[in-house]
C-alpha cells in the first residue's frame, strides 16, 4: 500500500464516511453494540429482550451498517411488526434484485437462455433463510439472531468476509413475534416467584401455539404467509437454518442428519446436502470444543408441515439446542443426563462424538451453541457455494426434464381436479393452497379419461413435470408411511409428528391421478384468491356457542378451534371450569365445545405451550349433565369424549381404552368412514370419500341403540387406512367414529377424532356446524 500523508488519510476517511462507503473505519465507529440498545448483553441470565427491543436493535443496525437491510413484511396476528434482515456485502445488497433474478433462473431452467447455466452459477450467491424462534419458549431463538447480525455487521475477519461475499442471508429474528412478548411478559412478571422459567398459561401464538411450525403447506396463519410470500416464493433459498430448542436432559444440540423415514417426494440431492452440511457443522463445532452434539436422532424428514424448503429446492437444517428455564439457568449433573431418541448422552457414538460433562446450563450457553452452529452453517455455505448452486440448478433441470430422478418413472404424469365438486369453497381453497406453494395449475384442453371416468376439457390439471411437481404430488397423493418398529417384534417406532397430509381427503375434494401420457393443457392459470369461508352459522347470533378451555393452560386444539370459528365468522364465548361451577349455563349458551385435551386428565396431545386437562372436576360434570338435560348441545373432540362418557355415564364405550401400541397404533392418519347421511349431525357433509383425521383417538361401541346413533362408522371389513400409518386397523371395523347421544332434552356429540385438525380437515367441519344448529 502506498504511503499516505496523514492529511490525505484523514481526507479519505472523511470522504468514505460522507459517501457511506463500507470502510473498516466507518463500520468500527458506528455499529451500535446490542447491549447499547437492549440495555444488557444478549444471553445474559434473566434478561429476555422484548419484541420492541429486538425491532429497535434491527432498526439501528439497518441505519448503521451497509451490510444489513431490514424490511417489515407485515403485521402479526396481534399487530406487531414482522421483520426480516437481509445480510450480505454492501455491493450485493445494493443489487439484490440482480441476484434474485439469477436465483430465479437457476430455480427454473425455462427462464434461462442458451448456455447461461454456468455463468449463473459463477455469479450467483448461496441464499440462506434463517427462521428463528417460531417457538417462543425457545428463548435463544430470538436472541441468537442479534449476536449473528452484530458479528456479520462488525467483523472484518476472513470468515466473515467469505460469508458476506458468497451468501445472501435472510434472517427472520422471530417467526412468531407475538410469542416473544407473550412468553417474555409472563417471564418478567414471574421473576423471583416459584413460576419463574415456566411457560405461560396461554398459547404463545393466539391461535396455534406450538403448532405454528406445522403450517408450512396449509398457510393458515399470517406469519407463515409472510415468510412464504415474501421470502420463499421470490427467492427459494438453497438453505434454511431453522433454530429451535429441545429438552434439557439429553444432548446439548441436535444437528441433522435426521432419522428415518424420509418422505419419498424429497429430491435426494437435498437429503444428501442436509446430511453433508449437518456433519460439517458438527465437525466445525467439535473443532471449537463444543460437546454433547447429537445427530440422526429424534427428528425425522417426513412431513411437509415442518419443512417447506425440502420441496422447494432448499436443505432444512433444523438445530435443537438444550433448553434452560427460559433465561433462568439450570444445573444438570452428568448422572441426570439420559437418552435421546437414537443416542445415549453419557456415551460416545458415531452420531454423538463427545459427551457434555454436566453442570450449569444457561441462556447464554444456548445462544453460544446456536451462534456457533449458525456460523458453521454460513461458513459451509460460503466455502461450498458452487456445489450448492450446482445441486440447486440440477434439481431444477430434473423437475422439468426426462431424467430418471428418484423413481419418477412410477409417478403419475398429472393429477386432474374436476371443477364440479360437492364443496366449491373446498375446491377453491385447494387451488389457492397449491398455487400459494408455487404449484402451477393448468386447464385441460380436451376431455381426459381416468379409470373409466371422463373429465371435461377445462378441468384443472397439475402436471407433475413442473418446478414444484414433487411438492404437489406429496400433497395430492395418499401417504404410505413405512411400518417401523423399535426392534423386531417391538413397539412401533413413534414418528416425530403425524404421518398424513393428503389435501383431497382433508378438504373433501375429488381428484384423479393420471398414469401414462399427461393430458393436453393450456398455460398456467392466474393465482386464485382465497375463498371467503362461510357456514350457515357465519355472522349469526341465533346459536349461543361456548368454547371451553381449562384455566390452567390452553390446549393447542382449543386454539385451532378458536381459529376455525374466527375464520368462519362464527361468534362464540370462551369459558373455563369457573363458568360451569355455578351450575347449568343454559341461560347463556346453546352449545358448548370441548376441544381435544380440554376435559379429563389431559389425555389429549396438548403439546408444549398448552398441556391440556384440568377441566374434569365433579361439579363440572354435574353442570354439563344439567345443561344437556335442559336442551343444551355438548360437542367433545377426541380425548375429551372419553371424559364425557365417564363423567355423564353415557351409553357408549371406547373400545380402544387400554389397548397398547403393539396392538393398535395410528399416530396421525386419515381413515375411511361411512356416514349416516340422514342424521341431522351429518347435514352439510358432502365429501365423496368420507375421511376423518385420527390421532390417538377413541373408537366407540354403543351399548344402548335407543339412546345413541352412530353418525360415522368405520367400515365393517377391510383396512380403514386411507393415508398415513395404521397398525391393528381391524380393531376399528364396525365401530363408530362419531356418536350422537340423546341426553334429556339435549344431546352430546362424541367425536373420536379432531374434526377441525390444524385448520385443515375442512371436509369434517360440517359435522361441527350441524351438531350446533
Ligand atoms: Zn421448536
pLDDT at 11 over 60: no
- Residue 464 Cα to ligand 1 midpoint, Å, equals 32
pLDDT of 14 reads: 41
3-state secondary structure of 556: helix
pLDDT at 448 over 80: yes
3-state secondary structure of 416: strand
- Residue 537 Cα to ligand 1 midpoint, Å, equals 36
Q: Give 107-153 as a DSSP string.
A: H-GGGPPTT-HHHHHHH--EEEEEEE-SSTT-GGGGTHHHHHHHHHH
pLDDT at 25 over 50: no
- Cis-peptide into 47, omega within 30 deg: no
- Residue 12 Cα to ligand 1 midpoint, Å, equals 49
CA–CA distance, 391 with 106 (Å, rounded to integer): 10
pLDDT of 406 reads: 72
pLDDT at 305 over 50: yes
Task: Write the pLDDT tens digit of every residue in 257-304.
Answer: 999 999 999 999 999 999 999 999 999 999 999 999 999 999 999 999
Residue pair 237/212 in contact (Cβ under 8 Å)? The answer is no
Instruction: Give every CB contact of residue 376 below 8 A, 6+ residues apart in sequence.
Output: 280, 281, 284, 285
Beta bridge partners, 172, equal 131
- Residue written as cell 390421532? 695
Among the ranges given (370-384, 591-605, 654-668), the one the predictor scored with the smallest mean pLDDT: 591-605
CA–CA distance, 296 with 282 (Å, rounded to integer): 12
CA–CA distance, 203 with 598 (Å, rounded to integer): 13
Please choose, from the candidates 539, 533, 536, 532, the residue with its C-alpha nearest in 3D space to the C-alpha of residue 570. Answer: 539
pLDDT, mean of residues 381-406? 90
State the DSSP code for 332: E
Please choose, from the candidates 552, 545, 732, the residue with its C-alpha nearest in 3D space to the C-alpha of residue 634. Answer: 545
pLDDT, mean of residues 148-165? 97
Residue pair 698/657 in contact (Cβ under 8 Å)? The answer is yes
- Residue 239 Cα to ligand 1 midpoint, Å, equals 18
Beta strands of 207-278 (E only): which ranges?
A: 239-246, 253-254, 259-262
* Cα angle 285, 288, 291; round to 5: 60
- Residue 134 Cα to ligand 1 midpoint, Å, equals 7
- Residue 447 Cα to ligand 1 midpoint, Å, equals 47
Please choose, from the candidates 602, 632, 636, 635, the residue with its C-alpha nearest in 3D space to the C-alpha of residue 616. Answer: 602
Mean pLDDT, rounded, of the chain: 93
- Residue 418 Cα to ligand 1 midpoint, Å, equals 39
Task: Write the pLDDT tens digit of every residue in 463-486.
Answer: 999 999 999 999 999 999 999 999
Dig out the grid coordinates for 729 from the structure. Answer: 386397523
Residue pair 613/548 in contact (Cβ under 8 Å)? The answer is no
pLDDT of 3 reads: 42
- Residue 599 Cα to ligand 1 midpoint, Å, equals 26
One-letter-per-residue 3-state SS of 36-79: HHHCCCCCCCCCCCCHHHHHHHHHHHHHHCCCEEEEEEEECCCC
- Please give the biggest Cα pair distance in the chain: 102
Beta bridge partners, 692, equal 671
- Residue 317 Cα to ligand 1 midpoint, Å, equals 13
Helix (H) or strand (E) holding 579: helix 577-580
pLDDT of 404 reads: 60
What are the φ/ψ torsions at residue 558 (nearest 5 degrees)?
A: -65, -40
pLDDT, mean of residues 676-704? 97
CA–CA distance, 752 with 396 (Å, rounded to integer): 43
CA–CA distance, 321 with 324 (Å, rounded to integer): 10
CA–CA distance, 286 with 293 (Å, rounded to integer): 8
pLDDT, mean of residues 605-631? 70
- Residue 211 Cα to ligand 1 midpoint, Å, equals 9
Please choose, from the candidates 399, 213, 401, 388, the residue with its C-alpha nearest in 3D space to the C-alpha of residue 308. Answer: 213
Q: Name the band, by pLDDT with cuts 50, 70 and 90, for residue 233.
A: very high
- Cis-peptide into 198, omega within 30 deg: no
- Residue 608 Cα to ligand 1 midpoint, Å, equals 9
- Residue 21 Cα to ligand 1 midpoint, Å, equals 39
Task: Write the pLDDT tens digit of every residue in 504-547.
Answer: 999 999 999 999 999 999 999 999 999 999 999 999 999 999 99
- Counting every residue written for the chain, the total comes to 773
- The pTM of this model reads 0.94
Residue pair 141/133 in contact (Cβ under 8 Å)? The answer is yes
- Residue 246 Cα to ligand 1 midpoint, Å, equals 7
pLDDT at 606 over 80: no
pLDDT of 403 reads: 60
Residue pair 632/591 in contact (Cβ under 8 Å)? The answer is yes
- Residue 110 Cα to ligand 1 midpoint, Å, equals 37
- Residue 180 Cα to ligand 1 midpoint, Å, equals 13
Helix (H) or strand (E) holding 287: helix 268-287
- Residue 576 Cα to ligand 1 midpoint, Å, equals 28
pLDDT of 582 reads: 87
Task: Write the pLDDT tens digit of every residue in 715-760.
Answer: 999 999 999 999 999 999 999 999 999 999 999 999 999 999 999 9
- Residue 586 Cα to ligand 1 midpoint, Å, equals 41
- Residue written as cell 376431455? 447
pLDDT of 405 reads: 65
- How many contiguous H segments (helices) and E segments (strands) does the chain have? 23, 33
- Residue 247 Cα to ligand 1 midpoint, Å, equals 10
CA–CA distance, 343 with 292 (Å, rounded to integer): 11
pLDDT at 19 over 60: no
Beta bridge partners, 546, equal 573, 592
What are the φ/ψ torsions at residue 37 (nearest 5 degrees)?
A: -100, -45
pLDDT, mean of residues 298-314? 96
Q: Give 256-268 as a DSSP string.
A: SPPEEEE-TTS-H
Pairing mode of beta strands 293-294, 253-254: parallel
pLDDT of 29 reads: 53
- Residue 321 Cα to ligand 1 midpoint, Å, equals 9
Q: Name the band, by pLDDT with cuts 50, 70 and 90, for residue 773.
A: confident
- Residue 542 Cα to ligand 1 midpoint, Å, equals 41
pLDDT at 613 over 70: no
Tell me what percent of the residues of the chain surpass a pLDDT of 70. 93
- Residue 13 Cα to ligand 1 midpoint, Å, equals 46
Q: Name the band, by pLDDT with cuts 50, 70 and 90, for residue 22.
A: very low
Q: Name the band, by pLDDT with cuts 50, 70 and 90, for residue 16.
A: very low
Report the 10 Å Cβ neighbour count for 217. Answer: 24
Instruction: Give every CB contact of residue 41 below 8 A, 6+ residues apart in sequence.
Output: 34, 35, 47
Residue pair 333/345 in contact (Cβ under 8 Å)? The answer is no
pLDDT at 402 over 80: no
- Residue 196 Cα to ligand 1 midpoint, Å, equals 20
Report the 10 Å Cβ neighbour count for 606. Answer: 27
Q: Is 197 left (phi over 0), alpha (psi -120 to 50) or beta?
A: left
Please choose, from the candidates 92, 97, 83, 88, the residue with its C-alpha nearest in 3D space to the C-alpha of residue 67. Answer: 88
**What number of CA atoms fall less than 13 Å from residue 298's CA on the CB side?**
22
- Residue 133 Cα to ligand 1 midpoint, Å, equals 7
pLDDT of 7 reads: 46
- Residue 185 Cα to ligand 1 midpoint, Å, equals 19
pLDDT at 2 over 60: no
Tell me what percent of the residues of the chain surpass a pLDDT of 90. 91
Q: Name the band, by pLDDT with cuts 50, 70 and 90, for residue 600.
A: confident
Q: Name the band, by pLDDT with cuts 50, 70 and 90, for residue 608.
A: very low
CA–CA distance, 479 with 724 (Å, rounded to integer): 5
- Residue written as cell 396455534? 208
* Cα angle 130, 134, 135; round to 5: 135
CA–CA distance, 94 with 213 (Å, rounded to integer): 32
Dig out the grid coordinates for 622 from the structure. Answer: 354435574
Please choose, from the candidates 682, 684, 689, the residue with its C-alpha nearest in 3D space to the C-alpha of residue 710. Answer: 682
Pairing mode of beta strands 736-743, 674-675: unpaired
pLDDT of 401 reads: 85
One-letter-per-residue 3-state SS of 144-159: HHHHHHHHHHHCCCHH
- Residue 670 Cα to ligand 1 midpoint, Å, equals 25
CA distances from 665 to 107, 659, 692, 718 (A): 40, 9, 16, 16
- Residue 316 Cα to ligand 1 midpoint, Å, equals 14
3-state secondary structure of 542: coil
Instruction: Give every CB contact of residue 289 below 8 A, 6+ residues apart in sequence.
Output: none
Residue pair 481/495 in contact (Cβ under 8 Å)? The answer is yes
CA–CA distance, 552 with 576 (Å, rounded to integer): 9
Amino acid at each position: 500500500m502506498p504511503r499516505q500523508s496523514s492529511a490525505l488519510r484523514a481526507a479519505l476517511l472523511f470522504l468514505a464516511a460522507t459517501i457511506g462507503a463500507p470502510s473498516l473505519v466507518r463500520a468500527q465507529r458506528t455499529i451500535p453494540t446490542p447491549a447499547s440498545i437492549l440495555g444488557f448483553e444478549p444471553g445474559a441470565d434473566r434478561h429476555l429482550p422484548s419484541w420492541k427491543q429486538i425491532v429497535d436493535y434491527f432498526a439501528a443496525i439497518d441505519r448503521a451498517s451497509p451490510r444489513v437491510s431490514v424490511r417489515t413484511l407485515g403485521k402479526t396476528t396481534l399487530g406487531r411488526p414482522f421483520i426480516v434482515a437481509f445480510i450480505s456485502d454492501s455491493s450485493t445488497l445494493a443489487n439484490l434484485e440482480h441476484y434474485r433474478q439469477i436465483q430465479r433462473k437457476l430455480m427454473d431452467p425455462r427462464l434461462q437462455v442458451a448456455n447461461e447455466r454456468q455463468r449463473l452459477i459463477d455469479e450467483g450467491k448461496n441464499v440462506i433463510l434463517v427462521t428463528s424462534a417460531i417457538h417462543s419458549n425457545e428463548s435463544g431463538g430470538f436472541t441468537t439472531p442479534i449476536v449473528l447480525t452484530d458479528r456479520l455487521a462488525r467483523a472484518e475477519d476472513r470468515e466473515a468476509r467469505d460469508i458476506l461475499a458468497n451468501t445472501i442471508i435472510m434472517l427472520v429474528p422471530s417467526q412468531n413475534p407475538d410469542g416473544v412478548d407473550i412468553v417474555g411478559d409472563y417471564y418478567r412478571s414471574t421473576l423471583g416467584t416459584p413460576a419463574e422459567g415456566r411457560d405461560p398459561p396461554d398459547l404463545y401464538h393466539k391461535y396455534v401455539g406450538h403448532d405454528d411450525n406445522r403450517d408450512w403447506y396449509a398457510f393458515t396463519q399470517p406469519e407463515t404467509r409472510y415468510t412464504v410470500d415474501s421470502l420463499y416464493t421470490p427467492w427459494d433459498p438453497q438453505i434454511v437454518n431453522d433454530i429451535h430448542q429441545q429438552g434439557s436432559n439429553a444432548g446439548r444440540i441436535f444437528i441433522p442428519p435426521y432419522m428415518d423415514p424420509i418422505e419419498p417426494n424429497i429430491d435426494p440431492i437435498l437429503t444428501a446436502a442436509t446430511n453433508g452440511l449437518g456433519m460439517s457443522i458438527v465437525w466445525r463445532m467439535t473443532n471449537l470444543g463444543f460437546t454433547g452434539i447429537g445427530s440422526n436422532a429424534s427428528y425425522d424428514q417426513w412431513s411437509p408441515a415442518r419443512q417447506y424448503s425440502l420441496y422447494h429446492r432448499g436443505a432444512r437444517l433444523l438445530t435443537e439446542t438444550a433448553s434452560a428455564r427460559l433465561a433462568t439457568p439450570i444445573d444438570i449433573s452428568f448422572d441426570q443426563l439420559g437418552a435421546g431418541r437414537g443416542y445415549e448422552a453419557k456415551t460416545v457414538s458415531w452420531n454423538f462424538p463427545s459427551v457434555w460433562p454436566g453442570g450449569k446450563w444457561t441462556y447464554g450457553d444456548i445462544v453460544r451453541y446456536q451462534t456457533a452452529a449458525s456460523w458453521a452453517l454460513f461458513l459451509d455455505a460460503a466455502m461450498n457455494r458452487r456445489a450448492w448452486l450446482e445441486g440447486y440448478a440440477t434439481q431444477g433441470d430434473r423437475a422439468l426434464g426426462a431424467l430418471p430422478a428418484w423413481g419418477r418413472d412410477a409417478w403419475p404424469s398429472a393429477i386432474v381436479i374436476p371443477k364440479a365438486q360437492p364443496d366449491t369453497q373446498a375446491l377453491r381453497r385447494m387451488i389457492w393452497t397449491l398455487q400459494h406453494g408455487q404449484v402451477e395449475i393448468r386447464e385441460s384442453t380436451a376431455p381426459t379419461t381416468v379409470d373409466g371416468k371422463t373429465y371435461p376439457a377445462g378441468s384443472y390439471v397439475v402436471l407433475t413435470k413442473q418446478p414444484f411437481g414433487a411438492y404437489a404430488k406429496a400433497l395430492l397423493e395418499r401417504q404410505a408411511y413405512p411400518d417401523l418398529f423399535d426392534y423386531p417384534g417391538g413397539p412401533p417406532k413413534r414418528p416425530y409428528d403425524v404421518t398424513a397430509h393428503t389435501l383431497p381427503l382433508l378438504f373433501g375434494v375429488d381428484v384423479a391421478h393420471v398414469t401414462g401420457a399427461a393430458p393436453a393443457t393450456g398455460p398456467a392459470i392466474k393465482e386464485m384468491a382465497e375463498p371467503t369461508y362461510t357456514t350457515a352459522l357465519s355472522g349469526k347470533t341465533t346459536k349461543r356457542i361456548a368454547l371451553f378451555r381449562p384455566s390452567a393452560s390452553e390446549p393447542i386444539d382449543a386454539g385451532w378451534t378458536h381459529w376455525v370459528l374466527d375464520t368462519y365468522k362464527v361468534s362464540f364465548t370462551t369459558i373455563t371450569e369457573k363458568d360451569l361451577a355455578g351450575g347449568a349455563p343454559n341461560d347463556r349458551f346453546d352449545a358448548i365445545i370441548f376441544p381435544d385435551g380440554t376435559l379429563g386428565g389431559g389425555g389429549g396431545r396438548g403439546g408444549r405451550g398448552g398441556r391440556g386437562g384440568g377441566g374434569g372436576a365433579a361439579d363440572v360434570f354435574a353442570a354439563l349433565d344439567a345443561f344437556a338435560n335442559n336442551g343444551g348441545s355438548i360437542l367433545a373432540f377426541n380425548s375429551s369424549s372419553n371424559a364425557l362418557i365417564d363423567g355423564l355415564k353415557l351409553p357408549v364405550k371406547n373400545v380402544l381404552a387400554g389397548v397398547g401400541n403393539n396392538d393398535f397404533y395410528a399416530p396421525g392418519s386419515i381413515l375411511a368412514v361411512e356416514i349416516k347421511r340422514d342424521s341431522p349431525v351429518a347435514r352439510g357433509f358432502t365429501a365423496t370419500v368420507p375421511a376423518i383425521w385420527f390421532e390417538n383417538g377413541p373408537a366407540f361401541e354403543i351399548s344402548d341403540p335407543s339412546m345413541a346413533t352412530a353418525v360415522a362408522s368405520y367400515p365393517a371389513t377391510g383396512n380403514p387406512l386411507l393415508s398415513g400409518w395404521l397398525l391393528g386397523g381391524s380393531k376399528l371395523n364396525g365401530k363408530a367414529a362419531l356418536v350422537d347421544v340423546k341426553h334429556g332434552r339435549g344431546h352430546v356429540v362424541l367425536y373420536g377424532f379432531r374434526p377441525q385438525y390444524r385448520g385443515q380437515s375442512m371436509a369434517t367441519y360440517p359435522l361441527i356446524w350441524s351438531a350446533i344448529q
